[in-house]
Amino acid sequence: MVSFYKMRECLMLLAVAALASAADLLPTCDRPVYCDSALLHQVQMARIYEDSKTFVDLQMKYNESKTLNDFEVLMNDTNQSPSRAQLQQFVDDYFSSDGELEDWTPSDLSDNPAFLETIKDKEFRAFGKGINDIWPLLARKIKAAVLEKPEQHSLVPLTHGFIIPGGRFKEIYYWDSFWIIEGLLISGMNETAKGMIENLIELLIKFGHIPNGSRWYYQERSQPPLLTAMVAVYYKYTQDISFVRDNIGHLENEMEFWLNERSVNVEKDGKNHTLFRFFAPSDGPRPESYYEDYSNTIGFSEEDRNNFYIDIKSAAESGWDFSTRWFITPDGSNNGSLTDIHTRYIIPVDLNAIIAGALQQIAVFNALLLNLQKSYEYAALASDLRNSIEAVLWNKEDSMWYDYNIRDNSHRKYFYSSNVAPLWQNAVSSSFLQANGAKVMTQLEQSGGLDFPGGVPTSLIRSGEQWDFPNVWPPEVSIVVNALENIGTAEAKALAVEVAQTFVRSCHWGFQEYKQMFEKYDAENPGKYGGGGEYNVQFGFGWSNGAVLEFLHKYGSVLTASDNNVNDTTAAPSSTTGPPNSSA
């Protein structure tokens, strides 16, 4: 690891990165078949599969060299224009859809975990049991064939069994795992949660950062860096200090990646500030959405095409793929379309809050391990970042944090659920919170974002993108609820319970109707699944399970499935402990 002082010096010298030229760009990954080949282009553009992800999740029957060489023969034999039928035959001959995962039953799975007894409302208690019963349906481990010939797969082999999100998402996803892990811990599945974290650490060691997901084609982009928060919540439930001691170096290494690769210098009011952005500068379309990305750039110049690919991958790195949050039109507004995506110019509130929280938590862990000098160093980095978040992202007039547009030097003054992330991550000073917490709550109430019967939407803009209105994403509801809880006043805590209850009721209604949990919901229609975006809604669903279990666990003594159930007192009240507090 670089020294603290050298790191700080480097950060002060960083400037906004220039636009990358094609010659500067890395390939999307080190597996050409899945990331950078004529084979990938021909198959995806022929629409052999309706979902572009299907092809890049297939397994090669032969090694990479034979596969690519034989495809080159096909290209030469067809004058570089194979028919769709010829492409289909090649895929059938050279690839397999047998699957790389097998079902797995976690050893710590319980039919009746203890938390159920703390849920007062009997309907919600049954709902909690139903969600707990979903875990084994999502539990997987890597097949031996992947371990024997890893070079023939896009899936990255991992040691431990894990919980997949669900649907088309058949691998580990980075930020999804935070809510999945908390749900597992609430269900008493400590070893499964630990294995999930250890898998992510394996990815960190392999790539130098944790990729978007455990597929090679995600190699050059990450996701919101919640690894430290995962270790913190694991420690909260287990007090396993040995696990912290064994892995503190990996947490520091991940922060070094973000400090070195995703930081920018932002000048505001005559002062320089080091802040963070999502930025994934690699060449070509996203392999899992190749057809969609390539089609969007038809008619673009080479420079515009390369910039689009960088910005759309950067938005995918954010986890918010896609939203008006990343659109910048010529007038600086978000009133555009996907071709107006300019993620690199936006300093996101949530990313900076997450990194500030991680730096502070690493300081706390080092203090627990009696590494006092390191603790002071990380606490100083966290303090610097908190100050920069306040200086650049806080809008005093509106009493709210906003994403910041470094191209036009302006706040993005729109409602997004991510605006309150500094409260969620304790990335504010106690004095700032005391002075502004009530104002933030008032602003949130007046925004209209809390007024929907299906939960808190990510935005109030009906764009057709899946991270915009009317879609409700469970992790974002969790962020808003915990942000309100961390304001600390009785009024804010009561509002947190109200927001949680609205969402849990919505999911409960949907579960009764469809017998499924969905990855996203509809703010206007309780229990209905969300829509929009590049693919159909997926069910399962890991982070939805985790977010609902979080609310049932925190507020189980007061949540009710309907207003008629307020007098149901058939269970003891639960503890209402919140998320790990990273403040020193």
Is 246 one of the catalytic residues?
no
DSSP 472-519: E-HHHHHHHHHHHHHH-SHHHHHHHHHHHHHHHHHHHHHHHHHS--BS
Active site residue 321: yes
Q: How far apart, in whole angstroms, are the C-alpha atoms of residue 516 and residue 539? A: 6
Residue 576 gets which letter from DSSP? -
| Burial grade of 302 (CB within 10 A; 0-12, 13-18, 19 or more) | exposed
Cα–Cα distances (Å) from 38 to 32, 59, 72, in that order, read 9, 17, 8
- Cα gap 222→203, rounded to integer Å: 11
Q: SS3 for 378?
A: helix
User: Using CA atoms, how far apart are residues 523 and 36, in angstroms rounded to an integer?
Assistant: 39
Tell me if residue 60 falls in helix, strand or coil. strand
Looking at the DSSP bridge assignments, the partners of residue 347 are 404
Sheet holding 404-405, edge to edge: 346-347, 404-405, 410-411
Number of H helices, E strands in the chain: 22, 14
The Cα–Cα gap between 108 and 139 comes to: 12
Preceding omega of 469 cis (within 30 degrees of 0):
no
Contact 41, 55 (CB under 8 A): no
Q: Report residue 439 CA to chain centroid gap.
A: 28
From the list 57, 176, 321, 485, the catalytic residue is 321
Which H or E run contains 274?
Answer: strand 271-276
Q: What distance in Å separates the CA atoms of residue 228 and residue 207, rounded to the nearest whole number?
A: 17
Indicate which residue of 202, 317, 476, 519 is catalytic.
519
Between CA 81 and CA 339 the distance in angstroms is 29
Catalytic residues: 321, 519
